[in-house]
Every structure is written in C-alpha cells, then in structure tokens.
Chains A and B, each alone.
Chain A
Amino acid sequence: MSTKASRFSARLMLAPAVILLLGWMLVPLTLTLIFSFQRYLPLRGGFQGWVGFENYARFVSSSAFWPAIQATVIIVGGVLLITVILGILLAILLDQPMWGQGIVRILVIAPFFVMPTVSGLVWKNMFMDPNNGLLSHLWRYFGADPVIWLSDASMLSIILIVSWQWLPFATLILLTAIQSLDSEQLEAAEMDGAPALSRFWHIILPHLSRAITIVILIQTIFLLAIFAEIFVTTQGSFGTRTLTYLIFQRVLESQNVGLGSAGGIYAVILANIFALLLMRIVGKNLDR
C-alpha cells in the first residue's frame, strides 16, 4: 500500500511532465486560435483587426483548398493501401522458415531509419531524375522514353517515396503480431487440410486485425503531417500540395498568419478525429 507521503511525492514527480505538455499544447494552440480570428500579415502591415470566422470561410473557399484535400487523401490513402497490403504479405513471408532471416529483416527495416530529407533527395535525384536517374537508365535500356517522374507522375512519385519509408514500419508491427499467433492453431488447420488461402483468411487475418487497425491509425496521423519529402522534391507543385504544405505556405511563405492559422485549426481537428479512434484502442489495451 502506498502511503500518503509517497502518493504526494509521486504526484510531484508527475508534475513537470504534465505542466510542460500542458504548456506545449495550450500556449501555441491558443495563439493559433487567436490568430485565426485576425487579419494578420506580419510583412504587410501586421495586425489589421478582428475578422470573426472570415479566415475559416476563406480558407475552405480558396481555389487551393479542395485540391489540397484531394492530394492529402490520395497520398495518405495510397501509402496506406501499399504499406498495409505489402506489409501483410511481407510479414507472412518473413515469418516463414528461411536462411538468413535476421539479415533480411535488417534489409527490410532499414528505410525507416533514413531521414526524410535524405530519402526525398536520393529518390528525386538518383532514381527519378529524367536525365541521370537510375529509373531513366532502365527505361532507356528497354527503349522507352524516360518518365519525368516528379512532374508527370508527381503523386505516384510522392506515394512511392513515402511508401518506401513506411513499409518497414507496417511490416515490423505486423510481423510482431504474427509471431504472437498460436502456431498450434495454424498447424491444426494445416493438418485438417485447410488450404493456404483459407488459413490466411480465417486465422491469420482476424488475428492481425487489431495490429492492422493500429498501423492504419498511427500511419494516418504521421502521413497527414508529411512535410520534408514534399519540401525537398516538388515543393508542393504539380498537384502535390497537401493540407499540411498549404498551411505551411500560407503561414511562412506568404506570411498570411490569420488565414494559415484557420487552416491550422482545421488540421488539428482532422488529426484529432484519428487520434480519438487510436486512443480508444490504446486505452482498451491499458485496462487489460
């Protein structure tokens, strides 16, 4: 049993973390909220009065808004689709008996540790460059015209780069989940003559469903915020301007802080929808 004194000191030990995170959350968020109701252009006259919800209305009615939502949805959806499907297949493969399993795992996981600016630039220049990139060499080898990846297939390129970074994450988590599967159950099914596909469908996939949900939620939260990959490749041009990038441009590039802040509040709300879903799952896990 904990004594009153130890309970008090425990609260004291918790306090710095709580206070810091509370400050980190409340102070900037409150400022963003305040700015979002202002006409505020730091480089062109500064504060120019309160405008109510005008910024919110202008942000969603601007011609850049819907394309940005579309780009965000396509990128997040595309990356999720690729990483989850390939991640499941790869996790099942890596779970099979083989030689050099540890080394293969290392090879597969490695891209996750590459910093986003490096992976963006390596793909942009050494693979997707239409003149000197490796992919253009490959295309020419087969007698085809090289694709100008980052302008003609800009969305596909970004999805490819980001998927390469996140496939290891999905694979690693799904592999961890598969390894906790009771292998006797699988063996029994195998001996009963259940074909591989039905074993996958009726045993493996249901077992993975929770891990898949977690992968989707966590990746969604991180993918909604991808920045560096776009910053070093297309800079938001050729239809790759996501919501995050649009807000960044409004706030720092064109220094329209009021408008950008309204966008920021939209982004916070959007992220919170997914965060709530994730926390319900994580929270259930805490009770066990």
Chain B
Amino acid sequence: MARSVTTQRKTLNTALAWGIGLVIFFPILWTILTSFKTEAQAIADPPVWFFFDWTLENYRVVQERSNYNRFLWNSIIIAGGSTILGMIIAIPAAWSMAFVPSNRTKDILLWMLSTKMLPAVGVLYPIYLIFIQLGLLDTRIGLTIILMLINLPIMVWMLYTYFKEIPGEILEAARMDGAGLREEILYVLTPMAIPGIASTVLLNIILAWNEAFWTLNLTAARAAPLTAFIASYSSPEGLFYAKLSAASTMAIAPILILGWFSQKQLVRGLTFGAVK
C-alpha cells in the first residue's frame, strides 16, 4: 500500500527542502556570481545580486597574473597520476582478497584501513626530511606518490566491496572451462568490475584534488596544485574578492561536476563499505 501524501504536505516539504538547500548552497552560488562582478560591485553594500554588468575580466586577470594554468595542470597531473598509480596497485590487491581470501584477509583489510587513520601531522617531519633527501620536495612526482599512498587504503577497500558482489560461481565456471588467470581477469572479471572501478577512480580523483595538508606543506612555486594556489590568496592586497571568486570557481567547478556523479560511491568509499 502506497503512502498517501497530500499535495499540501508535499508542497510544504518542497518549500522547506529547497529553502534549506539554497542556504547551504549559497556560499558557492555567491562565489560564482561574484566572479563575474567588478571588484567594486563585489563589495557593494547593499549587495548586487543578478543585475550587474557580467564580466569575464576576473578570469582573464587571474589567468594572466598568476599563471593559473600551471597550477591547474599540477592538480590534474597529481590527482590523475596518484589515482592511476593507486589503481594499478589496488586492483590486484582487492581482486586477490575478494576472490582468493585467506584467513588473514580480514586482518589485512583492517590493517590497511588503520594506515588511513594515521594523522598526517604525526609523520610530517620525516616525510619532509625524506623528500629533501630524495629531492622530491616541490615536485609533482613526490606529491603524486604521497597522495597515492594516503588514498590506497580507500581504493583497496572500495574495490574490495565491489568485487565481493561479483558472484564467485562465474569465476569458477570460467576456470572449469579452462580459463587461465589472465583470461579470467581479462574477459570475465574486468567487464563485471568496470562500474566499481569507475566509481573508485571518480572518488579518488575528488579526494586527491581537494587534499590540502600535504599539498600545502610539500610544495612551493613549482609543483603547487590549485589547493596551494588558492591559499596564496590568504594574504591579499587591495580589492580582490572578484578575483578570489574567479580563481575559486575555476578550482572547484570540475570537482563539483564530478562529485554530482559520485554521490552513491562517496557513501560506500568513505564508510569503507559499512553503509551502502
């Protein structure tokens, strides 16, 4: 029996939810709007809402003045690189634990999770020192490795929960038909695992893109991604709200769009499969 819902109640729900939703979204909306204003309009009191001369000037200035594209490129390389590298290591590990479990599998999984809980600040100096010794400070490769390592547990876990859902009988049938390990992975497992792999990739790009402890502490001018670039706006000169907004909008737009596609995976990935 379906619950009967009065139109009145539905209207009330709708109004309340949209109201709250817009309040929560407002800082982002305001940032996007401000990025199209002049600096004077950006701080106008009373504030100007939609009716102003929309301008792309801020975007142009940010690009020119700060070499924005290099920071963007760093973000793409670091987030993308750490995800690809991590997947190369995580897929076999998760496959192995999901399909050939041993009595230590559970302990290994939980131990991997525990490495994710290690507070970064507790190992800040050793990593900093190792980076100096190896010449990795302020390099994209160094940051790529660190971000791969901090997200590896999440990747393994997420893939594990997805792989677990693939029925084992299918693999056994393939083995019985004489499929070797390579064929098994290539022709049987991979097609069934692609949705899970795609979700894991998506979530990890988001996490790596927004990571802001190691990116702030291990980069300077050369390898700084967008998180660090935006932080340089914390000691501003003169009027800068519109430019801050333009830089911020460019930094968050790609991830907002990716994020909207990954709501469900977010729950699974960040609760380590405990809530699905």
Mark A residues whose CB is within 8 Å of B: 2, 6-7, 9-11, 13-14, 16-18, 20-21, 24-25, 27-29, 31-32, 35, 90, 93-94, 96-101, 103-127, 131-132, 134, 137, 140-141, 164, 167-169, 172-173, 176-177, 183, 187, 190, 210-211, 214, 218, 221, 224-225, 227-228, 231-233, 244, 247-248, 251-252, 257, 260-261, 264-265, 267-268, 270-272, 274-275, 278-279, 281-283, 285-287
Contact = CB atoms under 8 A, between A and B. Distances in A.
Given A7-B100, A119-B27, A21 B251 contact: no
Contacts of A28: 123, 126-127, 130
Main secondary structure of the interface of A (DSSP, over half): helix
A211 B268 CA distance: 12
Interface of B: 1, 3, 5, 9-10, 13-14, 16-18, 20-22, 24-25, 27-28, 30-31, 34, 43, 45-47, 89-90, 92-93, 95-97, 99-100, 102, 106, 108-115, 117-130, 149, 152-153, 156, 181, 206, 209-210, 212-213, 216-217, 226-228, 230-231, 233-234, 236, 240-241, 244-245, 248, 251-252, 255-256, 258-260, 263-264, 266-267, 270-276
A129 to B, nearest CB: 9
Given A122-B27, A164-B24, A21 B152 contact: yes
B217 A252 contact: yes
Nearest to A7: B100
Given A27-B126, A227-B212, A252-B128, A110 B256 contact: yes
Contacts of B272: 282
B118 A107 contact: no
Given A118-B230, A264-B122, A286-B106, A214 B25 contact: no
Contacts of B5: 97
A87 B43 CA distance: 32
Given A90-B20, A214-B275, A268-B118, A100 B14 contact: yes
A14 B114 CA distance: 17
Contact of A282 (B99, B113, B123, B256): B113
Contacts of A190: 3
Contacts of B263: 105, 109, 172
A132 B43 contact: yes
A187 B3 contact: yes
Contact of A141 (B31, B34, B46, B273): B46
B271 A228 contact: no
A107 B206 contact: no
A247 B106 CA distance: 33
A252 B17 CA distance: 45
